[in-house]
Amino acid sequence: MSLFDWFADRHKEAPALRIIKEAEEGDGLWSKCPECTIVFYRKDLIANASVCSKCGHHHRIDSESRIALIADHNSFEPINSNLLPTDPLGFIDRHNYADRIRDTQYSTGLREAVITGLCLLDGLPLALGVMDFRFMGGSMGSVVGEKITRLIEIATSRGYPVVIVCASGGARMQEGMLSLMQMAKISGALERHREAKLLYLPLLTHPTTGGVTASFAMLGDLILAEPKALIGFAGRRVIEQTLREKLPENFQTSEYLQEHGFVDYIVIRTNLKNTLASMLRLHGYDNN
What is the distance between the alpha carbons of residues 262 and 223, in angstroms, rounded to a whole number? 8
Q: Is the dihedral of CA 233, 150, 70, 115 positive or negative?
A: negative
Between CA 184 and CA 190, with CA 189 as vertex, the angle to 5 degrees is 95
55 is in an annotated binding site: yes
Residue 128 host element (H or E): strand 124-131
The number of residues in the chain equals 288
119 is in an annotated binding site: no
Burial of 276 (0-12, 13-18, 19+ CB in 10 A): buried
- CB-CB contact of 190 with 122 (8 Å): no
What is the distance between the alpha carbons of residues 216 and 165, in angstroms, rounded to a whole number? 11
What is the distance between the alpha carbons of residues 163 and 71, in angstroms, rounded to a whole number? 11
Our CA dihedral for 245, 251, 256, 259, rounded to 10 degrees, sits at 10
- For 57, 194, 255, 264, the CA distances from 251, given in Å and listed in that order, are 18, 30, 9, 17
166 is in an annotated binding site: no
Q: Which residue positions form the known binding site?
A: 33, 36, 52, 55
Q: Which residue positions form the known binding site for Zn(2+)?
A: 33, 36, 52, 55
